[in-house]
Amino acid sequence: MPPSEFEKMLAGELYSAADPEIQACAAAAFAWMARYNASLGLSEAARGELLRQRLGKVGAGTVVRPPFHCDYGFNIRLGAGVFLNFNCVILDVVEVRIGDGSQIGPGVQILTADHPRDPDERRGGLEFGRKVTVGRNVWIGAGAIILPGVTIGDDALIGAGAVVTKDVPAGARAMGNPARVRQ
């Protein structure tokens, strides 16, 4: 039996986002986001419980300030002590891993969703994903954009407004558009 569109999505293969199973997952995520994004007045413990209801992993002491937006949630794995500031967007058609102690500034976008370069495939509504990995103790400044397939090494710093198109080594500082490693 050939893989379902959902299975293809999770494997990072071309898939149709119009598939009913995928649309049902997105609808469940939208309903969850409505609850989560209305939770700003709740305690961190109550918000943590809401996060654990939807995300793939939520480490101890992790804080995600609403509003927060994602495609599905179940592909997001947050280590212990992770902090995501207001208005973070994670498009998680495949796995997004954020290591222990990493801090994400407001308005950061982490994107795994990608689209074919061939115009006929795009017209056909096909897309695919490439996983994103953020190491331990990484700081990502406000408004940065992390593109599909990027890995950011432990202890790296990403400057505010940076557009990260390529991997960033451990301990490096990357800034600009496109982001470049600086000494």
The single residue of 115, 122, 166, 182 carrying the catalytic annotation is: 115
Nearest to 77 by CA among 47, 101, 56, 61: 56
Burial 142-179 (b: 16+ CB within 10 A, else e): ebbbbbbbbbbbbbbbbbebbbbbeebeeebbbbeeeb
d(CA 13, CA 130): 9
Look up 115 and say whether it is catalytic: yes
- Side-chain-side CA neighbours of 86 within 13 Å: the count stands at 3
d(CA 141, CA 47): 23
26: enclosing H helix or E strand? helix 20-37
* Residue numbers annotated as active site: 115
